Chain A
Amino acid sequence: MKIINFLSSVAMPMVILFIVIYGVKEKNKVFDTFLDGAKEGIKTTLSILPTLIGLFLAIGALRSSGILELIMKISSPILEIINFPKELMPLSILRPISGSGSIAIATDIMKNYGVDSLIGNIASTIMGSTETTLYTIAVYTSCIKIKKTRYILLAALVADITGIIASNIICKIIY
């Protein structure tokens, strides 16, 4: 338990330290470079703002209208069999489809159930360990005009489902 906490908390400082030392070693203007990158960060964040507004509207409506609860109620008997929390089902479905959509729904879940709660931690782990699979496959195959994809979607989705179930199990063990 202690070692897990240590690894989690040492990772970020180590990466920053390593990169800065590496930059200094290669005689780069480290701070100027940092500023260039940080300016890009402003652009990236502001560029997702319109997407977030649209998605928060849709996801907020799903929750406040009561339909999300209805869907969770209907699907809970199936999810109970594999011991998967029904609160995370909407995130699990949206995760492979839309990057900004899953950011919006994960934030919504963490806010509603508590960011440090078990549900919040599982949602975070799902977000960290899976990718916007459909988007990635579309970009990588369409750039070279591939038509036959040989069940790659199946392989990638199996990996995503594994990641989602693994996040659930690991968080239940650790937290």
Chain B
Amino acid sequence: MLNIVWPIFIIISFSYAIFSGNLENLNNSIFESTNSAIKLSIDLLGSMCLWSGIMQIASKTTLIENLTKLLNPLLNFLFPKLKENKKIKKEVSMNIIANILGLGNAATPLGLKAMKSMQEENKNKETLSDTMMMFIVVNTASIQLIPTTVIAIRNSLGSQNPTSIIFPTWISTIIAAVIGITVTKIIIKLTRGEKNK
């Protein structure tokens, strides 16, 4: 994606600067960009290591497996077709829990494993099944207890209160997830005919 976006950004802004004679600013920002990137990386280094360490502890315990039980009622609502399939249900819930805990490195492999198991049950191998659709939408909803990366960035920029955005983030995530899930349920209903073709 960035192979398209990045050159577009460079081409339009560099040519605009040359045409409008805004070259001094542009030259300054070219040098500044490398400095800001290095500075941000160094500032992020501490927080990123801290959270990776804490999350490593979590992933070495049975925490994920134990928390999946709490998800049961929600899973039955989101994935009505998974009621009988315990194996897929477990993979799905482990992925969701890993996402909530912010274990990105664990969440993606678990999610891909769940997708593969769902594909085995899928009748039409080229089309997303209902369960897969809902699963992907839940994964794009960014349901996360602690938005660690943003907090690390805020901390690096000298925020008075880096964690103050946690609560607003929860509310906003929940609203977005509810809307996303509702729209997906509607799309599943509307495209059911198409799926069976």
A residues sitting closer than 8 Å to B (CB atoms) are: 4-5, 7-9, 11-12, 15-16, 19-20, 22-23, 26, 28, 30, 33-42, 44-46, 48-49, 51-68, 70, 94, 97-98, 100-101, 103-104, 106-107, 110-111, 115-116, 120-121, 124-131, 133-137, 139-141, 143-152, 154-156, 158-160, 162-163, 166-167, 170-171, 174
Contacts and interface: CB of A to CB of B under 8 A. Distances in A.
A8 B54 contact: no
Interface in B43-74: 44-45, 48-58, 60-63
A166 B12 CA distance: 31
What is the interface of chain B mostly: helix, strand, loop, or mixed?
A: helix
B140 A131 contact: yes
A89 B8 CA distance: 17
Contacts of B171: 166, 170
Contacts of B131: none
Contacts of A22: 57-58, 61, 63
Nearest to B144: A128
Nearest to A143: B112
Nearest to A123: B150
Contacts of A128: 142, 144, 147, 150, 165-166, 169, 172-173
Contacts of A19: 54-55, 57-58, 61, 63
28 contacts: A8-B164, A19-B54, A19-B55, A19-B63, A20-B57, A23-B60, A28-B60, A33-B56, A37-B52, A41-B51, A52-B40, A54-B6, A64-B26, A111-B157, A124-B153, A128-B147, A129-B142, A146-B132, A149-B128, A150-B194, A152-B136, A152-B184, A156-B136, A160-B140, A166-B171, A166-B176, A167-B172, A174-B168
B19 to A, nearest CB: 9
A56 B149 CA distance: 17
Interface of B: 1-2, 5-6, 9-10, 12-14, 16-17, 20, 22, 25-26, 28-30, 32-34, 36-38, 40-41, 44-45, 48-58, 60-63, 101, 105, 108, 111-112, 115-116, 118-119, 125-128, 132-133, 135-137, 139-142, 144-147, 149-151, 153-154, 157-161, 163-169, 171-173, 175-177, 179-180, 183-184, 187-188, 191, 194-195
B188 to A, nearest CB: 8
Contact of B26 (A28, A42, A61, A166): A61
A100 B176 CA distance: 21
A40 B183 CA distance: 38
B182 to A, nearest CB: 9
Nearest to A151: B187
Contact of B57 (A23, A51, A125): A23
A58 B7 CA distance: 8
Contacts of B40: 52, 107
